[in-house]
């Protein structure tokens, strides 16, 4: 009986190597990639049964790549393995059609259980995350009309990267500005949009379509 075919996507080489070592023992690891565009190109070429993908990825973030993957290859299962456990990321992952979401700090036993569950056509979310999903979300008050239009292009760039899970330091490197400048823009956006935290900023971006190009 042939082993399930898995495509692995993560932009951190150390994690990629570690997961590769574990997965190759139990599955047919057909390829590894390090950015969102490569996920789509490689998945179309290799037709894996499952794509195991991070959320924060360069070029095209994991959520954007995941949405396009589900549109282009609906039969390919999608499981996120991420260090970001904030509810907006999990909710968006499930909304676009992912079958599961596991934290990187989970052990191999849980990851293996998640893979088998997803391959069986069911949904798997790490228990600590699913508990938060079942609680009523505390939504921030809706921003006044025109708040979206008041954002500058630079603020929109930063907001998209915040939604993708990047830190202020990482965003600064990507946009060639300092992390202090990133934090300044984040603070200004929170005041403009009447939000209280980075998590609420990410939720705002995801619900208003700013996580997509």
> What pLDDT is recorded for position 197?
82
> What pLDDT is recorded for position 119?
96
Name the residue ranges covered by the structural domains of the chain. Answer: 5-133, 153-207
pLDDT band at 145 (very low <50, low <70, confident <90, very high): very low
What pLDDT, in 10s, does the model give residues 112-130?
Answer: 999 999 999 999 999 888 7
What pLDDT, in 10s, does the model give residues 29-78?
Answer: 999 999 989 999 999 999 999 999 998 887 778 888 998 999 999 999 99
CATH of 153-207, one of 1.10.3720.10, 3.20.20.370, 3.40.50.11540, 1.10.10.10: 1.10.10.10
> What pLDDT is recorded for position 211?
55
CA-CA-CA-CA dihedral for 16, 19, 23, 28, to nearest 10? -10
Q: Please, what's the b/e burial string for 116-146 (b: 16 or more CB within 10 A of its CB; e: otherwise)? A: ebbbeeeebbbeebeeeeeeeeeebeeeeee
The terminus-to-terminus CA distance of the chain in angstroms comes to 41
Q: Which fold has domain 5-133?
A: Rossmann fold (3.40.50)
> What pLDDT is recorded for position 134?
60
- Please determine, for residue 4, whether its predicted confidence score (pLDDT) is greater than 90: yes
Q: State mean pLDDT over 79-105.
A: 88
Q: Residue 32 — φ and ψ, nearest 5°?
A: -130, 140
């Amino acid at each position: 009986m042939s082993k399930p075919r898995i495509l692995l996507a993560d932009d951190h080489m150390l994690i990629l190597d570690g997961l590769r070592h574990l997965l190759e023992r139990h599955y047919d690891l057909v390829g590894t990639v390090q950015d969102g565009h490569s996920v789509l190109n490689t998945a179309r070429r290799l037709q894996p049964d499952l794509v195991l993908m991070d959320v924060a990825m360069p070029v095209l973030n994991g959520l954007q790549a995941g949405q396009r993957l589900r549109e282009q290859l609906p039969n390919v299962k999608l499981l996120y393995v991420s260090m970001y456990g904030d509810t907006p990321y999990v909710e968006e992952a499930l909304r676009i059609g992912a079958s599961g979401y596991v934290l990187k700090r989970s052990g191999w036993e849980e990851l293996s259980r998640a893979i088998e569950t997803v391959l069986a056509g069911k949904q798997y979310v790490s228990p600590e995350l699913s508990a938060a999903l079942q609680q009523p979300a505390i939504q921030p008050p809706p921003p006044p009309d025109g708040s979206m239009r008041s954002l500058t292009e630079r603020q929109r760039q930063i907001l998209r990267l915040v939604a993708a899970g990047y830190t202020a330091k990482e965003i600064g490197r990507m946009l060639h500005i300092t992390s202090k400048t990133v934090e300044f823009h984040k603070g200004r956006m929170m005041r403009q949009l009447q939000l209280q935290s980075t998590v609420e900023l990410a939720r705002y971006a995801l619900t208003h379509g700013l996580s997509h190009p």
